[in-house]
């Protein structure tokens, strides 16, 4: 297994739309495994493929906090391929979110409280997941990543002005890493 480099804001890859996975190849399985490893190492609870530089519709979600995740194996973090939100509750919740591509930034984001997700598991089997609360939030956040949507897009303009300084700091680190690594 390999720990992958997490692409940080404002890496342009984070704004690209990901392609559907047509076939679950060895490479896709390896990507999913490495993403799980990378997420665990970074103490994240979710990670999307563009965050590790792959424009493929693959996300991983950590199950420990996924108490309402109704999938087969709850002991290991799981990969979801071509995930889609097929139902969303009107009821929404505001809670704090972070993102591994934005170190140190936490924002209160409004999301649907419950979602139903359809995806393929790593064996290529179609699965449906009902999620509520935190896991529902993680799924919505990660699926947004597959369309180039970031959590900073979800806050009102006035709040965006408030985080300008923090965003600049993250961007500065990004430029530094590009120059010296
Ligand atoms: Zn994120």
Distance CA 140, CA 114 (A): 10
For residue 142, indicate whether it is catalytic.
yes
At 77, give phi and psi (nearest 5°). Answer: -60, 145
Residue 69's pLDDT band (cuts 50, 70, 90): very low
16-37 pLDDT per residue, tens: 999 999 999 999 999 999 999 9
pLDDT at 76: 56
**Could you tell me if 56 and 29 are in contact, meaning their C-beta atoms sit under 8 angstroms apart?**
no
91-102 pLDDT per residue, tens: 999 999 999 999
Ligand 1 midpoint to CA 144 (Å) = 8
Ligand 1 midpoint to CA 154 (Å) = 12
Residues in the chain: 181
Distance CA 38, CA 33 (A): 9
Active-site annotation holder among 54, 97, 132, 142: 142
**Confidence (pTM):** 0.92
Ligand 1 midpoint to CA 180 (Å) = 24
Residue 154's pLDDT band (cuts 50, 70, 90): very high
Ligand 1 midpoint to CA 174 (Å) = 16
Q: What is each CA distance from 109 to 71, 97, 124, 129, 154, in whole angstroms?
A: 26, 7, 32, 22, 7
DSSP the chain: --PPPPPPTT-GGGGSPPBPP-S--HHHHHHHHHHHHHHHHTT-SEEEGGGGT--BSEEEE-STT-TT--SS--SS-EEEEEEEEEEE-S-EEEEEE--TTSTT--EEEEEESEEEEEEE-TTS-EEEEEEESHHHHHHHHHHHHHTT--GGGGS-HHHHHHTHHHHHHHHHHHHHHHHH-
Is the CA virtual torsion 98, 38, 42, 9 positive or negative?
negative
Ligand 1 midpoint to CA 100 (Å) = 6
**Could you tell me if 118 and 83 are in contact, meaning their C-beta atoms sit under 8 angstroms apart?**
yes
């Amino acid at each position: 297994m390999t720990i992958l480099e997490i692409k940080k804001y404002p890496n342009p890859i984070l704004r690209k739309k990901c392609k559907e996975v047509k076939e679950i190849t060895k490479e896709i399985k390896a990507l999913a495994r490495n993403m799980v490893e990378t997420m665990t190492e970074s103490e994240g609870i979710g990670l999307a493929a563009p965050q590790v530089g792959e424009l493929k519709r693959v996300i991983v979600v950590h199950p420990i906090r996924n108490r309402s995740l109704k999938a087969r194996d709850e002991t290991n973090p799981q990969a979801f391929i071509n995930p889609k939100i097929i139902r969303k509750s009107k009821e929404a919740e505001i809670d704090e979110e972070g993102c591994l591509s934005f170190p140190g930034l936490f924002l209160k984001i409004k999301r649907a409280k419950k979602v139903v997700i359809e995806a393929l598991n790593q064996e290529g089997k179609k699965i449906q997941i009902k999620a509520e609360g935190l896991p529902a939030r993680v799924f919505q956040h990660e699926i947004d990543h597959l369309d180039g949507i970031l959590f900073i897009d979800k806050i009102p303009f006035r709040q965006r002005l408030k985080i300008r300084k923090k965003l600049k700091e993250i961007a500065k680190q990004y430029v530094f890493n590009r120059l010296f690594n």
